[in-house]
Amino acid sequence: MQLPRRKSRGSKRSTRRTTQPATQGNRRRRSLAARTSSRDRTDLRTTAGTEKAARGKGSPPRRGAAVLRRAAKIGLRLAISGTVAWALLAGAREGYDYATTSPRFEVRALTFEPTAHIDDESVRTLMALPPGTNILSLDLEAVAGRIAAHPWVAEASVVRVLPDALDIEVVEFEARAMLLASTPMLVDATGHAFKRVEDGERGRLPIITGIDDALMRTAPHDAGARMVRALEALDGWDAKRRPRLGEIHVADAGEVTLYTAEIGTQLLLGRGDLSEALLRYDALRAALGDDSDTLAVVHLDHTPVADRPARVIATFLPTASPELVLEAQAQAEARALQAQADAASAQDRKQRQKRKRRGQRQVKKLSRLPKYE
């Protein structure tokens, strides 16, 4: 027996739609729906074609947006960094202006140990610091240079001690001898002539002769070698207890001749080893005892040979005439004074020539002016 087929609701509705009467309103709605569907399909095809063309050119819209966002982030970071840097710079500038202008950092104290020729007042004069000088804005090298301009100063250093003090250290030249040239100069242990001799500055210093201005100007190497030779003789002489030395003369070939200060004994050391010559002099004094004070001339420049020892030739002042000893001493002092006088007169002539040349230049300058009657 065959059961009848049951129809579903959906098929009923579908049948119902199909069986709707084709009225004029239904036809209009169907025509409008068909046109809308056709336009939508056309727009989708157009959009798909545009996207495909753009994808083919390699510039999708998403990549451009990402680039813009990245550029905006970088610009924001740069703006923030610039603002922070400007703020830090402005703060540092404000701090520097405050530190270099604040009264808290004004120089109010000096720490200085006076030396033989530089006292506290001299240091203040050489520094030439105006009142209210800021310690942080002070050029320490320039201040040390002004102190070192003093002829007795070999080295000078200036150190800040915050908030308002300066620590000053000065090292002076140590005079070792006096160089007797046209301008008498004080010489240190290295042979550097650092200062012109003023009244009372020589003291008991020995005189170095044999090095004049012409030699120092035309042959500075030879002048330096003679100076080294003279200081070598002076160091060797002072190494032991001996009579005070008055003069050291160095000849052209390097021969060294010494003169004692009290009696004026002439000691010819020659061109050889100075230490060996001085040892022979010590042996002679030991052998003579008290009579060594009457030595007039001693030749210590003999060169020993293999079969003969070194010889020392000496002449003595007459012991029966003590006036001759005093005369020799007076002659030695007179020779030293005459040497100083000659140097002073040479310096005076030099100064007069300078003034004369200066006057001639002044006359030439004045002669250029027009004359009016």
Instruction: Tell me the DSSP string of 238-282.
Output: HTS--PPEEEEEE-TT--EEEEESSS--EEEEESS-HHHHHHHHH
pLDDT at 258: 97
Examine residue 22 and state whether it is found in any structural domain, yes or no: no
User: Does one domain contain both 186 and 285?
Assistant: yes
CATH number, domain of 119, equals: 3.10.20.310
Examine residue 68 and state whether it is found in any structural domain, yes or no: no
**What is the mean pLDDT, run by run of 10 residues, along the chain of 373 residues?**
47 45 56 57 53 50 72 77 73 60 83 91 92 89 95 95 92 95 92 92 93 91 94 95 95 94 92 92 91 90 74 78 63 71 72 68 41 32
In the chain, how many H helices and how many E strands? 9, 12
Examine residue 372 and state whether it is found in any structural domain, yes or no: no
User: Does one domain contain both 275 and 145?
Assistant: no
CB atoms closer than 10 angstroms to residue 102: 12
- Residue 9 CB-half CA count within 13 A: 0
pLDDT at 50: 53
pLDDT at 365: 41
pLDDT at 369: 34
CATH number, domain of 303, equals: 3.40.50.11690
Q: Which domain holds residue 138?
A: 108-172
Examine residue 312 and state whether it is found in any structural domain, yes or no: yes
Examine residue 142 and state whether it is found in any structural domain, yes or no: yes
Before 163, cis peptide (omega within 30)?
yes
pLDDT at 79: 76
User: Does one domain contain both 346 and 203?
Assistant: yes
Query: What is the pTM (predicted TM-score) of this model?
Result: 0.61
In DSSP terms, 172 is beta-bridged to 153
User: Does one domain contain both 125 and 255?
Assistant: no
User: Does one domain contain both 196 and 343?
Assistant: yes
Examine residue 226 and state whether it is found in any structural domain, yes or no: yes
